[in-house]
Amino acid sequence: MLKWQIGSVQITQIVELTTASLGPYLLPQATPEVLRREEWLRPFCDPEGKLVLSVHTLVVESQGECLLVDTCIGNDKQRSYPRWNKMQTDFLDRLGQAGFAPERIDTVMCTHLHVDHVGWNTRLVDDRWVPTFANARYLFAEEEWNYWRDEPQEYGPVVEDSVLPIVDAGLADLVTPTHQVTDEVWLEPTPGHTPGHVSVHIASNGEEAVITGDMIHHPCQISHPGWSSSADWNQQMSAETRGHFLDRYADRPVLVIGTHFAAPTAGHVVRDGETFRLDY
């Protein structure tokens, strides 16, 4: 469990799982032969040179509020990807052991509505999907919700079991892509991976951080911003968004926390010749 302090804001990472099996599908350009040329990428790859991805949530404590960014895959969900189908993990126990029992969460922020970012929005109780964080407001970018409510889904009934129950319970707030959550936390539009994708910006006492969401899946995309994921809705837009982000935040004291980055998970973007790398 990693933690970061940004001014008066504390950010805590709770990992659901890590995997090296998705890399060849998501980023086929990132072969072990290519990745081995960049020594700084070694912590983010397995011993064979394959990409390692982490699925985790980030709890942001700001001004007395507990904000949870993305809710991973979830248990008991019917999914077409075999390793995630009817999965069982102790994620909620670990969240509670870290001091964040479900009833303590005030706001859930979904960077987008893909399968591995909304799963723990709900849990199965008496054969019904009920909100996991019953005291929380769930923030969905309005453009994101408008797209996915009618769009065919690749991995299973994600909207039906992990988003619609939140809407039906009256706990969903459809927000703009620049929505202010607290004085220290706001959303930042980063479209391309999905139409309404957002990142999360944190600023407190002169310090800053950005939680990427899937605008960047893996640190190799920092040195290769043109590498768009096979899961991107619009690969050209994704690459442009990523390039603008890296150019804007390079060589600045802004901590970049990757939503799928394996440990060490966070660092600062620095220029490296004609491209960039993560300094951690």
Exposure of 254 in the CB half-sphere (CA atoms within 13 A): 20
- CATH number, domain with residue 179: 3.60.15.10
The values of phi and psi at residue 105, to 5°, are -75, 130
Alpha helices (runs of H) in 64-153, residue ranges in sequence order: 91-97, 115-118, 142-148
pLDDT one-digit tens code per residue, 106-146: 999 999 999 999 999 999 999 999 999 999 999 999 999 99
Strand order across the beta sheet in which 107-109 lies = 3-6, 9-19, 53-62, 65-69, 107-109, 137-141, 172-175
Q: Alpha-carbon distance 72 to 75, whole Å?
A: 10
Mean pLDDT on 85-102 = 97
Instruction: Name the helix (H) or strand (E) containing 207.
Output: strand 207-211
Q: Alpha-carbon distance 46 to 67, whole Å?
A: 31
Residue 153 pLDDT more than 90?
Answer: no
Domain count, the chain: 1
pLDDT one-digit tens code per residue, 43-76: 999 999 999 999 999 999 999 999 999 999 999 9
For residue 172, give its domain range.
Answer: 3-279
